Structure 1
Amino acid sequence: MDFTPTEEQEAARELAARILGDLSTHERLAATGGGTDAELWKALCAAGLPAAVEEIGLLGLVLLLEEQGRVTAQVPLAATGVYGILAVARHGTDEQRARLLPGLRDGTAVATGAFPATGAVTARDGRLTGTVTWVPWLRDAAHVLVPDADRALWLVRAEDAVVEAVELTAPWSAGRLVLDGTPAERLGDAAGESAYRDGSGVGAYEDVLAAARTAFAGLQAGVCAGSLARAVAYTSVRQQFGRPLATRQAVQLRAADAHMDTEAIRVTAYEAAWRSDAGLDCAGAALTAAWWASEAGKRVVHSGQHLHGGMGADLDHPVHRHFLWGRQLDAYLGAGTELLAELGDLLAKGETA
Structure 2
Amino acid sequence: MDFSLSETQNDAAELAATIFKNECTPDRLKAADKGRFDEALWGKLGEAGLLGLSLPEADGGAGLGLLELCSVLVEAGRLVAPAPLASHLPTALAIAQFGDDATRAAWLPGAVTGEKVLTAAFSEEREHAPVTPTTTAEADGGTWLLTGVKTVVPSGTRAAVFLVPASTPDGVAAFLVEPGAGVHVLPQRLSDGGEVARVELERAPGVLLGDLADGAAIVEWIEQRLTLAAAALELGIVKGALELTAAYAKTREQFGRPIGTFQAVSQRLADGYIDILGADLMLWQAAWRLEEGLPAATEVAGAKLWAADAGHKVAHTTVHVHGGVGIDMDGEAHRYFTTGKLGEFLLGGTTEQARKIGALLAAEPV
> Contact (CA 8 Å) 2:289, 2:295: kept in 1 or not?
yes
**Residue matched to 1:264:** 278
Separation of aligned partners in 2, 1:48 and 1:3: 26
Stretch deviating more after TM superposition (135-144 or 327-336): 327-336
Shift of 1:3: 4.6
Q: What whole-Å deviation, never above 9, does each CA across 1:131-178 have from its counterpart, x for those lacking one?
A: 112211111210110001332000001244211100012343200001
- Superposition map of 1:128-139 within 5 A: 128-139=146-157
1 or 2, which has the higher helix percentage?
1
What does residue 119 of structure 2 align with? 112
Aligned residues: 342
Say which SS state the counterpart of residue 43 (structure 2) adopts.
helix
Q: Alpha-carbon deviation of 1:2?
A: 5.7
Does the CA contact (< 8 Å) of 2:33 and 2:192 recur in 1? no
| Contact 1:91–1:201 (8 Å) recurs in 2 | no
TM-score, normalised relative to structure 1:
0.92
Structure 1 unmatched runs, 5+: 194-199
SS in 2 for 1:147: strand
Q: 1:3 to 1:187 in 2, by over 3 A?
A: farther
* 1:152 matches 2:166: no
Counterpart residue identity of residue 153, structure 2: V
> Quick one: distance in 1 between partners of 2:2 and 2:281?
11
Distance in structure 2 (CA, Å) of the matches to 1:227 and 1:144: 31
Counterpart secondary structure, 1:185? strand
Pair 1:3–1:212, CA change in 2 (3 A): farther
- Tell me, in whole angstroms, the C-alpha distance in 1 between the residues paired with 2:348 and 2:96: 27
SS at match of 2:157: helix
Corresponding residue number in structure 2 for 1:103: 110
Mapped to 2, the partners of 1:266 and 1:140 lie a distance apart of 32
Which residue of 196, 206, 218 corresponds with 1:174?
196
Compared with structure 1, are the counterparts of its residues 42 and 121 closer, same or farther at alpha carbon in structure 2 (3 Å cutoff)? same
Which residue number corresponds to residue 91 of structure 1?
98
Counterpart position of 1:196: none
Q: 2:102 aligns to what SS in structure 1? A: helix
Partner of 2:330: 316
Judge conservation of contact 1:3–1:271 (CA < 8 Å) in 2.
Answer: no
Distance 1:280 1:234 in 2: 42
Q: Find the residue that maps to 1:152 and give its secondary structure.
A: strand
Distance (whole Å) between structure 1 residues aligned to residue 106 and residue 146 of structure 2:
22
State how far apart, in whole Å, the 1-side matches of 2:332 and 2:3 are: 31
TM-score relative to the length of structure 2: 0.89
Alignment RMSD (CA, Å): 1.7
* Distance in 2, Cα, partners of 1:33 & 1:153: 32
Aligned to 1:275: 289
- The unaligned stretches of length 5 or more in structure 2 are 56-62, 124-130
Q: Which residue of 2 aligns with 1:197?
A: none
Q: Decide whether the 8 Å contact of 1:13 with 1:67 is kept in 2.
A: yes
Contact 1:25 1:71 in 2 (8 A): no
Q: Establish whether residue 60 from structure 1 lines up as the match of residue 63 from structure 2.
A: no
Cα distance, 1:226 vs. partner? Answer: 0.7
